[in-house]
Amino acid sequence: MQAKTGAPSVQPLVWRSAWQSQGMRDDSGAEKRFVLIRRLPQGAWSATEWRWSPSPREATKAWQEKRWNALAASVAQHTQTPTAAGASETRLMHDVLESNLGTRPAERIADVLTWQTDGHCLKADLTSPGPQQLQLSYSAEDSRLEQRAAMQLQLARRTPKASWLSPFNLVPASRQARGGAKFYAVWIEGNVMKGQLWIPTRGNGPLMRVRIASELASVPVDLAKNPALQRSRQVIERELFALAERWASAYE
C-alpha cells in the first residue's frame, strides 16, 4: 500500500532499504487508518497506528476530520517517495516487477528486488546479466531454432558448471499476450536456481533482461527425480511468464 495524502492506494509497499521512515494511509474502508514506521536514533524501529471511525453526527465528524487532516500532514513529513534512478530501461523493468507483485510485499536494495511466493524467497536482479553477444529477433516468426540453439551454446560456454532445467527457448505463445518474441531459460549454479527473461524491443531498441534467483536448501544430485526442484523451476517460470505478459500489456 503506497502512502498518499488523498485517495487510498491498492498496491503493497515496496520498501526501499535506504528509507528511515514511511507513512501509509488507508481510506478504503469505513474505518480510516494511518501507519507510521520510523527508525529511532538507537537503530530500533517504531511502528504507530491511528484509526478513525467517522461519527454519524456532522458537527462531530467535521471536528474529527480537522484533527485527522492535521495528523495526515504530520505523517506526510515522514513519507518517502520512490525516486527514479538508473537507465530508463532499468526503471521500466522495475515498474513491471513491482506491478507484478500484486499483494505481495517486497524490499528493494539498489537494483535488487526481494519477495516471497509459494515458500520461495526470490530475488530479481537487473544488474547481473552481462552484455548480449547475439542479436535476438523481435518477431517470433523470425526466431529460428538455429538461433535459439546458438544462444543456448553461448550461455553454456559462459556458465560451464550450470545444469539446465529449461534451455533457452521462446516463452510459450499462450503467455506472450501480444507484441514481439520473448525468451527464457532456467538453470542451476551451485545451490542457486536462476531464471532469466529476454525481451527484444522494436527497431534498434534495447534488449530488456531480468534475472530471478532462488537459493536452494542443498545442491541437488538427481535433477529429473527431484519433485521439490521441479516445483522451484515452475515457480520461477511462472514469475518470468507473468513478467512477459505484463511487459506486453504495458509497453506493446
pLDDT single digits (tens) 186-212: 999 988 999 999 998 887 778 888 999
Nearest-angstrom CA–CA distance, 57 and 108: 44
Any idea which of 83-92, 149-158, 193-202, 240-249 has the lowest mean pLDDT? 83-92
Judging by beta carbons within 10 Å of its beta carbon (0-12, 13-18, 19+), is residue 131 exposed, middle or buried? exposed
Nearest-angstrom CA–CA distance, 182 and 134: 14
Any idea which of 33-47, 114-128, 131-145 has the lowest mean pLDDT? 131-145
pLDDT at residue 92 above 90? no
Nearest-angstrom CA–CA distance, 51 and 53: 7
241 and 171 in contact (C-beta within 8 Å)?
Answer: yes
Residues of 26-38 as b/e, b for ≥16 C-beta within 10 angstroms? beeeeebbbbbbe
- Identify the H or E element spanning 241: helix 227-251
- Identify the H or E element spanning 89: helix 88-99
The listed range with the strongest mean pLDDT (134-138, 151-155, 172-176) is 151-155
pLDDT at residue 11 above 60? no
The torsion of the CA quartet 77, 78, 79, 82, rounded to 10 degrees, works out to 110
98 and 14 in contact (C-beta within 8 Å)?
Answer: yes
- Give 157-192 pLDDT, tens digit per residue: 988 999 999 999 999 876 656 678 899 999 999 889
User: What three-state secondary structure class fits 90?
Assistant: helix
Q: What was the pLDDT predicted at 52?
A: 93
Instruction: Grade residue 3 by pLDDT with cuts at 50, 70 and 90.
Output: very low
What percentage of the chain carries pLDDT values higher than 70? 83
Instruction: Grade residue 103 by pLDDT with cuts at 50, 70 and 90.
Output: confident
